[in-house]
Amino acid sequence: MINYRSSVSNQYSDKFKNKGYLILKTKNNNSLKYLQKKILQTIVKECKIKAPKDLLNEDFLNNFHKKIKYSDLNEHRVNIIRKINQDQNFKKNYFLSAKEILYALVGNELSMQNRINLSIQFPNDASSLLPLHSDIWSGDSPFEVVVWIPLVDCYGTKAMYILPPNHYKKVENNFKKYSNKSSTQLFNKIKKNLEWIDIKFGEILVFNQALPHGNIVNKEKETRWSMNCRFKSVFSPYGDKKIGEFFEPITLRAASEIGIRYKLPEIKK
């Protein structure tokens, strides 16, 4: 295969293929700050709590579990997700935060998931778990990547885990043996090979959603806040989640726009 990628793109691509994910500091701090500020403003309004003097202070988010009742968490989370997704600038700034990595790994004609998701996990909260899974097993396209953006530093059990490609190959090759097991049984079988991802606010994680991943009970003393959204090349194959339903194009080039609209002229028969 001919490769005309830049040396930087090759470096990103090699690391992504070998590790299953890539973490880079965002090149667009203004976009990231927009996301954080919008979330904080929405939280204050939705939860009717006093705004911090510094809206960009991570302590407010880290200690969120001290500010609302656990029983109200999911309702607030759903309402916050709905409100941030009503803001088209939020979606644009989400893309801009990860633009450099996406262009290097996926391409510059992208489809973006219609809705950005938000995860809020209190300390010792067993209700917000995402058990071990691969998105491809439930109908997603292998051509998608997930852009995972933390709003606070995530580490230890406050972070997510992923099974590296070399260990996943062993699962894939013996999948018949594992296919009748529950996600908990599979987790216990492979947990020694899982990689826990430490990531700081200001960094962007892009990972291969085909690799098994998930999270466990947050045993740290802080609340976890993270966002996730899928991206793929516009013209790559789609899974169960189709363009126009789940994805929408965001960076179509002129030639593609012309080609999509082009109709051959009729000829005399």
Does 21 map to a domain?
A: yes
Does 179 map to a domain?
A: yes
| pTM for the full predicted model | 0.94
**212: closest CA among 247, 161, 263?**
161
Average pLDDT over residues 250-264: 95
Specify the CATH number for the domain of residue 166.
2.60.120.620
Total domains in the fold of the chain:
1
What are the tens digits of pLDDT across the range 123-170?
A: 998 887 888 999 998 899 999 999 999 999 999 999 999 999 999 998
Contacts of 180 (CB under 8 A, 6+ apart): none
What are the tens digits of pLDDT across the range 35-84?
A: 999 999 999 999 999 888 776 677 899 999 999 999 999 999 999 999 99
**For residues 51 and 53, what is the distance between their CA atoms, to the nearest angstrom?**
6
Does 76 map to a domain?
A: yes
Does 160 map to a domain?
A: yes
Does 230 map to a domain?
A: yes
Q: Give the single-character DSSP code of 29.
A: H
176 vs 16, residue with greater confidence: 16
Does 212 map to a domain?
A: yes
Contacts of 70 (CB under 8 A, 6+ apart): 122, 125
% of the chain surpassing 90 pLDDT: 81
Q: Where in the sequence is the domain holding 180, given as residue range(s)?
A: 16-235+246-261
% of the chain surpassing 70 pLDDT: 99
